[in-house]
Every structure is written in C-alpha cells, then in structure tokens.
Chain A
Amino acid sequence: MAIVIQPYREEHETAVQDFNRRLQSSSGDPNLVFSQSAIPRWLPPASGNSVWNEFYVAVDASSAEKPRACGAYALKQEQIFVRGKGTQRIACYHHPVSEGVVDRSFASVGMLLARDALTRQPLLYALGMGGMDRPIAKMLKALGFSLTPIPFYFRVVNAAKFLREMQALRDKPWCATLMNIAAATGTGWLTIKSAQAIARLRSQSRNSASDFSVEKIVVEEIGEFSGWADELWNQAKDAVSFATARDANTLRLLYPPNFTSNIASTRRLRISRKSSAESSAKSSAIGWAVIGVRRKDPKFGAMRVGSIVDCWAMPENAALVVRAATEALEKDGVDLIVSNQSNHLWGSAMEKTGFLKGPSTFIFAASRKLTELLQPSENPPTFHITRADGDGLPVNF
C-alpha cells in the first residue's frame, strides 16, 4: 500500500463514490461519507474570497486497477483576528473520514490525514467533534492540540413539550414516567421556568441593572450583510482576543443571500436602537444575529429547535442582540432554543435572557502553533467562537 494525500480533483470522484459505498455498507451509517463532488458546495474556492473550503483525498496508489480512495478531509481556509497580533490566515480541519473506521488495515490513515493537514497549515483548529472522548478529539490531543469545550446554552420555550420530547433524558423508564407526570401536572413547566428566571436574576445581579434596561430596538431581517457590518466588526473586534473574520465580505460568503439548503433555514437579523428622530434605515446598527431552525434530530423528538447560530456586537449590546434573536425565534414557534458561545460576555448575555448552561460536547481544538499564537495571556472565555464557526451552517443544521 502506498497512500498519497492530494487535492481532491474530478478524476478522484469515482474513487470517492466507491469509498463512500464501502463505508456505508460496512458501518450502516448513511452520514459516514465524504463529498462526492470535488468542488465544495459550500464555500467553493474563488479568486478574491476571504474564506473557502479545500478538499483532500488519500489515495492508495499501489492499487493495480484504479486509484482507491481510503480517506479524505476538508480544510476551511479563513482569516482570524488575534488581538495585538492582527489578522492571520488559519484553517479549520473538518470532515476527516478514514477507511480505518471500518477496516483496521487502514488504521494509519486517520493520523496521516491529520498530519497532512498540519503540514499544509500549522495554524489549524477543529471544532465540534461530539465530545472529548471521541476518536478524532483523542487523536488531535495526541498530536498536541489543546482541547476546550465551548459552553452550551439552552432556553426552554415550551416546557411541557420539552419534557415530553427530550428523548435524551428519557432513557431510563423511571425518568420518562416522572417527566410525563411533570409535563401533565405543570410541575415541570414551573421547575424549568423557575430555573430560567433564577438564571436571569442571578446574571442581572452580577451585572449592572442598567445594561439590560428595557429599550426600544429595531430588528430587521436582511437579505445580506453590507457596509454597516464592517463598522460593527471593526468596532467590536478589539473586545475579543480571537475571532474568525466577521466583516461584511466574509459574512456574505458564510451566509449568502438566497442560501438554500435541504437542511437549513436561516435568517439574518440586523439590530439597531430605535430613535424617534431617525428612520430605521438611518438608525445605526448595534449588532447582528443569524438564527435558524434546526433539522429534525431524534434526540429532540418532535420539538422545533431554534438556534442562535452566530452573533456580533459590542459587549454592552450583546444582551440586546441575544434578546432580539430569542424573541424572533419564539415568534417562529420554536419549542427550544440552543446556542454555543465561547465568550463569557456573550454567555452572560445568554443568562440574562433566561438561558441555562448545559454540558457541552462542542469542542475547540487548537494546534500547537495556533495555541502559541493565542498565548500567553489569552484564553477561550475571551475568544468569540459560535456554532457557525468550523464546519459551520450546513453541518450544524
């Protein structure tokens, strides 16, 4: 066997289709596949783009008949802002798939993929992975990556439905019975609403009352991001120690107008302060949010699950943006709202809006070189990482 990792080209597509068939038939997992197209559907490379995806494929070149694909991965090339160090180019390592998952004779492919990615871009990160105990997280840790969970927040909108549908909590018969009783009698509703109210009050007591005063805001759904988003990006980036670029040009690529997917429905919200003296067109934006309703997931049962996917604002306006996004999702009729926020100020904004913090399996893994770049004094609570980072929208919806 002579494995060569090379850029994924059209000539590899048949080999990748065969690879996908082998993975699916051996694992029974329909999601264990790599892109059948050499050209990424989301963020294809294009001249002048600030963010794009590149695909790589591991080919067993010793195969006598035709090249045999035995692994593949994607790199999302993007720009980051690091406070005090300016803008840098890094890459997100995502969708690694190895034949080693179904055939032990390919056990080395997983590490070859990761090492190849590190060679191509030493400033590398991965995001998500499903928890610290997953093979990909363990492998990256062994390769010297530092791993940190990104806090998870949730807000229950429909408590009775939440209690009935949260399959993840209903594994044990006694728990399911208790939750059915709680849902039927209203005690569950009371418990959840009380917990959310307590979280909100505790958060507000830690912060000045004035920064969450009820004020009139204007929320507009926009087709695409424009110059005002550049102003916000430039104003607020120094308030975080690390963020992937969220200038207007990048946001247009990440959240294109008319972005349609069979798995995503998202909305872009521009939030500004209402001023009687100005029309909404003239009012200055204080932040933005990207929200959406997640695809059906067995662990959420029949619930409609909304997500605050991404957001940006000056820290003092974070709570207003979260509130606006939350209200928009509630108007959409969601039963539960979820979000991942690394930044402690955004976490505080979530709690002010009645979100509760839950256990997170959304892991940020930074390569040694990236960890060095982010050192010495910075740490994840001052980063700005959301669900939209990493492999982003298509996967997380």
Chain B
Amino acid sequence: MSASTFDEVRSIASDILGLPVARLTADSSPETVESWDSVQHLNLVLALEEKFGLQLSPEEIEQMKTLGATATLIETKLQSTPR
C-alpha cells in the first residue's frame, strides 16, 4: 500500500468518523474505533466509491476490516481498473 493512498483513505475516514487524522492508523477498525458502526461503514464505502470513481463489490467490502486493508483494496482496484 502506498503512503499517498493510505493518506487519502485516512483523510476520508477521519471526516466520516469525526476523528483527527492522527488518531487513525493502518490497524484502525470498527472494533477499535467507537464511532465506526455499520452506518459509518456504509458512509465510508460510499465516500471511497465517489472519491476514487469505483464500485466495490460485496466481497471487496468484506475485505475492509482495517483502514490499512481498505487502502490496499483501493490501490489494487485502481491498478486493475482501466483509466
């Protein structure tokens, strides 16, 4: 995962979860962040889809266990999607 993709994902998550960027790490997950509930998970998916212009499948959404895993997923999707 590149630092720039992770920074973008973290910035979006920071807005949605209402937390300072510095509080979020690659290991941050719904289990470690109080405000990361099912509604915010949906908002995060929708925001990422809009920001990166892609559509996440149910299988891909399941991979979003942590912010780091989410950034890796986005990067993989961006690389495999024709621009």
Chain A interface residues (CB < 8 Å from chain B): 1-3, 5, 98, 100-101, 104-105, 107-112, 114-116, 135, 138-139, 142-143
Contacts and interface: CB of A to CB of B under 8 A. Distances in A.
* A interface, over-half SS: helix
A42 to B, nearest CB: 27
Nearest to A3: B62
A115 B38 contact: no
B39 A142 contact: yes
A346 to B, nearest CB: 33
B41 interface: yes
Contacts, number: 61
A142 B42 CA distance: 7
Contacts of B30: 100, 104-105, 107
B62 A108 contact: yes
B19 interface: no
Contact of B41 (A3, A108, A116): A108
Contacts of A109: 38
Contacts of B64: 108
Interface of B: 29-31, 36-39, 41-43, 45-46, 58-59, 61-62, 64-65
A51 to B, nearest CB: 28
B38 A105 contact: no
Given A98-B38, A104-B31, A138-B39, A111 B61 contact: yes
Contact of B38 (A1, A3, A110, A143): A110
Given A105-B29, A107-B41, A108-B62, 4 more contacts: A2-B62, A108-B61, A114-B42, A135-B39
Contact of B65 (A5, A105, A110, A142): A105
A176 B56 CA distance: 52
Contacts of A110: 38-39, 41-42
